[in-house]
Chain A
Amino acid sequence: MSDDGQHDSPGAGSNGAGDNSLLPIGPQEPLDNPGVPDHQPRPTDVDPALERRAERQVAAMFVVAAVMALAFCVVYFLYDPHPETGETALGVGASNLALGVTLGLSLLLIGLGAIQWARKLMADHEMIEYRHSAASTVEDRQEAIAAFQAGSEESGLGRRKLIRNSMLASMAMLGLPAVVLLRDLGPLPGVKLEQTVWRRGMRVVSDVSGRPIRPSEVPIGQLVNAEPAVFFEHAEEFEGNELLNEKAKAAVIVVRMPPEEITPYPSRKDWDVEGILCYSKICPHVGCPISLYEQQTHNVLCPCHQSTFDLANNGVVLFGPASRNLPQLPLGVDGEGYLIAMSGFQEPVGASFWERG
């Protein structure tokens, strides 16, 4: 058994049974340690033909790997990744497929070759290395403690409490600039979480075309994704992220059901227009847009966490992790016969937050 000279107890026996000085295991073990089993020669150790074959296998893998690396370069220039004009293979883009396969095989064969080399041809004698306790020797540790104490003594850290405490205080104070410096990461919330762009008289328009909606255009059972008209009428004010920020709060759904099936709270008796109701689209759980509507039950379900709300009954939570009802927007009709909001939302929309109350 090879011994590279670093072992501190070479006399412990070549079978590695060694003494258990590191960990005395209680009572006597029932069986004696039989030691590391003797080395069993592999077929490649004893048969030169097999050894040569293994050598050829390893070399072949490396050669094919090199060919695959070249093939990668060829297909890089050969195929166009364009989704329409590019070549396809097996129903997918040929470029990605061919690049992945050639690169993958090249890498894989290098790896397989190296491991085959290790398993079949490299020496496979098990070696033994002795462990040392993770701790330093007792002397070393004591010297370390002594060195620390000497340093500490010479600095007077323990004695000069005034210096120590004032230094700690100054360093602790540095935490403040680190926090304060982050202040300008964003504005304070203010009332932004509580307000949307909805105002009395604002038209409710289709979210794709921006067209205002007449009650007669909404058949019973229909759900329309809608937005405030201001997004389209004043498009210059609502560009890019301004639009997304407001949309994240103001998106609504408009549904129509037979008026006799609606059971509004007394305060909401006139919030519908001929059975047409309008609710916030933003889930009061964590803010996903709710979108799965079931006509028969008037239930709407959030696809993220499955909170279910009853639109015929004031948007109350029927099921799921949301704890608040879906905010409702009171509807009316303007002089031209289009749906409008009769006020803004009367409560904050979207996920709950501390100051929401």
Chain B
Amino acid sequence: MSSSPAARSKAGAASRSTAGVVTWLDERLGIGALTKKQLRKVFPDHWSFMLGEIALWSFVILLLTGTFLSFWFKPSMAEVEYMGSYANLRGLHMSEAYASTLDLSFDVRGGLLMRQMHHWSANLFLASMTIHMLRVFFTGAFRKPRELNWMIGLALLMLGIIEGFAGYSLPDDLLSGTGLRIAQGLMLSIPVVGSYISFFVFGGEFPGDDFIPRLYTVHVLLVPGILLALITAHMLLLVYHKHTQFPGPGRTNNNVVGFPLMPVYMAKAGGFFFIVFGVTALMGGLLQINPIWMYGPYNPAEVTAGSQPDWYMGWLEGGLRIMPNWETNLWGYTLSWNVLIPGVLLLGVLFALLAFYPFIERWITGDDREHHLLERPRNAPTRTAFGVAGMTAYALLWIAGGNDILAYEFGLSLNAITYVMRVAIFVVPVLAFIITRRWCLSLQRHDREVVLHGYETGVIVRSPDGSYAEIHRPINPVRAYELTMHEQHTPVELPAAHDANGVPAPAQGKERLRSRLSHFWYADDVSKPTKEELEAAAHHATNGSHALEDGHGPASGNGAHLGIETSGIVGGQDFGLEQKPKAP
């Protein structure tokens, strides 16, 4: 930029000193080759790629704020008499954990801020991981070669849930103690070993005096250590595979188009860390969260109405609430299905389904290729429908987890809500599946329509003979390319039923199932326009009679022009619409 000799020599000096530092480091670490390759690494741009970044930065904030908290928090269940600053609790007997959390909140300057930031960023961590996972699922980013990274991500989410629960259980207040009591009830429901697990975990009877110190080690050492290792693996694989990108002009399956790590993404991602941190700090300063001094110390004989876990446990809580009260007694032993199924098995089933999903889809579709281009959800209708059905089930469980609050706030019958939920959890996801799949297929049809016949302008013109027609205008070629470059999926066909000699070759059961599933998966997909169809549409638009005169019904694309803009004016006539053709 600068052209003065002084500035140029300054720049020269700077680059010489950079070279000096790099040489010094390279001679010791050999970083030259790596840096050469990675410093200008290209990342694609899309707002949704930011979701995982929020999770990453929230984790960093959790480490920083958590370290601060650990300097004052005393993970001990020893009983003390509170003599601290908060008058309402003074003189009460409580655990040291609870008392030290009160001290952190009222006597350590900035302690409450760090506590609230820690809790807010935990919520943010789990929320962004969840939404990031949905993004990856709905765009097909989990496909080969990223299946293992998908599973690492799932492990992160599951550990994150455990870590969050462990974290809000540590202060040993009335609310968190109630959560632990429920967790102990879940342990007891495990067949054969349940009571042993409970006694080993709690060091005897509930609540005992071992659990908080043990949970503390799990919360500050064990789980964060695993999280850190898995996050590192997650990021290394991201760098190795290179980020997926959305399809677009110039963006293919074998390139990545975007901006370089240095400087653009260093500034953007680094800046984003400060933004996430800053927003978390503002939340910690402005929005109260988990005011433990209002709950009081834990007492197993007390509880408050409307007790709710943190949001990410809500769906498990909902399962516990709507489960019918089934219990089996056999030969003097008890199986508590009412607790075991929603409390223990549900989590396992959900994560197993998610973990194996990429392999299930790969088997059904027979697709063994590498995918680096993201799919629009509409172009994978069955996957999208499964995802929406899953989200619906999650949301219903979540709503069920607040059935008492709903009943209270809306003056409804608690029992009626629960009965409705018991049915809805099976019916509504199926409806969501059917609706979503049809919706996606309609959107595919719409894309095809727009490419072939242009978009609807909303301008109605009357022809001299009195008929009305809406003007369609062509979409621009970039948009047209984006709407036609997705993959046209084809179902897996069964091998010929007869071999060369006319002898029936019975398809094996597995192959038959696969073909049937694959047809269910893909057979309804709308075929995208072929070259011939596009040419025919172009021919129709330029040589055919004018749109207003060709007398087709609306269903056949009345007033249709070639769907793609070729030059300024299409079809020989401009209707004076000056607006830039925009994507419909």
Interfacial residues, chain A to chain B (CB-CB below 8 A) = 4, 6, 12, 15-23, 25-37, 76, 79, 81-84, 92-93, 95-101, 103-115, 117-118, 122-124, 126-131, 133-135, 182, 185-189, 192-193, 207, 225, 227, 239-241, 244-245, 247-249, 251, 281-282, 285-289, 291-292, 303-307, 317, 319-324, 350-357
A99 in contact with B285 (CB, 8 Å) = yes
Write out the residue numbers on chain B whose beta carbons fall within 8 Å of the beta carbon of A321: 320-325, 338-339
- Contact size range, B: 35 or more
Chain B residues lying within 8 Å of A105, measured Cβ to Cβ, are 278, 282
Query: From residue A292, how far is it (CB to closest CB) to chain B in Å?
Result: 6
Contact mask for chain B residues 94-115; partner A; CB cutoff 8 A; 1 contact, 0 none: 0000000000011111111100
The answer to whether B327 touches A241, judged by C-beta atoms less than 8 angstroms apart, is: no
Cα distance A123–B201 when bound, in Å?
57
Query: Inside 8 A of A307's CB, which chain B residues have their CB?
Result: 325
A127–B251 CA distance with the chains assembled, in angstroms: 11
CA distance A330 to B301 in the complex (A): 20
Given contacts A22-B253, A33-B249, contact A352 B488 (CB under 8 A): no
Is B77 a contact of A188 with CB atoms below 8 Å? Answer: no
Q: Which of B86, B277, B325 contacts A83 (CB 8 A)?
A: B86
Find out whether the CB atom of A134 lies under 8 angstroms from the CB atom of B204.
no
Q: Is the pair B285, A97 in contact by a Cβ cutoff of 8 Å?
A: yes
Residue of A nearest to B183 (CB): A286
Chain B residue contacts of A248, Cβ below 8 A = 181, 205-207, 300-301
Are B109 and A18 in contact, CB atoms less than 8 angstroms apart? no
Q: B185–A286 contact, CB under 8 A?
A: yes
Per-residue CB contact flags for chain B residues 379-412 toward chain A (1 = under 8 Å, else 0) read 0000000000000000000000001100000000
Q: Which residue of B lies closest to A35 (CB)?
A: B250
In contact, B207 and A130 (Cβ under 8 angstroms): no
Interface positions, chain B 320-353, Cβ under 8 Å from A, are 320-327, 329, 332-336, 338-339, 343
Minimal Cβ-Cβ distance residue in B for A307: B325
Determine if B275 is an interface residue (Cβ-Cβ < 8 Å).
yes
Cα A306 to Cα B404 in complex, Å, equals 8
With both beta carbons as reference points, the residue of chain B lying nearest to A207 in the complex is identified as B301
22 cross-chain CB contacts under 8 A: A20-B254, A23-B369, A29-B485, A30-B530, A34-B250, A93-B112, A103-B278, A108-B274, A110-B278, A115-B272, A118-B268, A128-B250, A134-B370, A207-B301, A241-B77, A245-B208, A248-B206, A286-B186, A321-B324, A323-B338, A351-B336, A357-B334
Contact of A6 among B37, B110, B335, B529 (CB under 8 A): B37
Shortest CB-to-CB span from B200 to chain A, Å, is 4
- B332 near A357 with CB under 8 A, answer yes
Chain A interface mostly: loop
Q: Judge if B121 is at the interface, Cβ distance under 8 Å.
A: no
Q: Are B257 and A16 in contact (CB under 8 A)?
A: yes
Q: Is the CB of A81 within 8 A of B107?
A: yes
* Other-chain contact of B278, A31, A104, A357 (Cβ < 8 Å): A104
- Are the CB atoms of B531 and A28 closer together than 8 Å? yes
CA distance A273 to B41 in the complex (A): 81
Q: B477, A31: Cβ atoms under 8 Å?
A: yes
Question: Does B47 touch A at the CB level, under 8 Å?
Answer: no
Q: Judging by beta carbons under 8 Å apart, are B199 and A352 in contact?
A: no
Does B252 contact A287, Cβ atoms closer than 8 Å? no
Whether, in the assembled complex, B418 has its beta carbon less than 8 Å from a beta carbon of chain A, the answer is: yes
Find B113's partner among A21, A103, A244 (CB 8 Å cutoff): A103
In the bound complex, CA of A230 to CA of B344 (Å): 37
On whether the beta carbons of A351 and B271 are closer than 8 Å, the reply is no
Q: Given the complex, which residues of B lie within 8 Å of A115, measured CB to CB?
A: 267-268, 271-272, 275
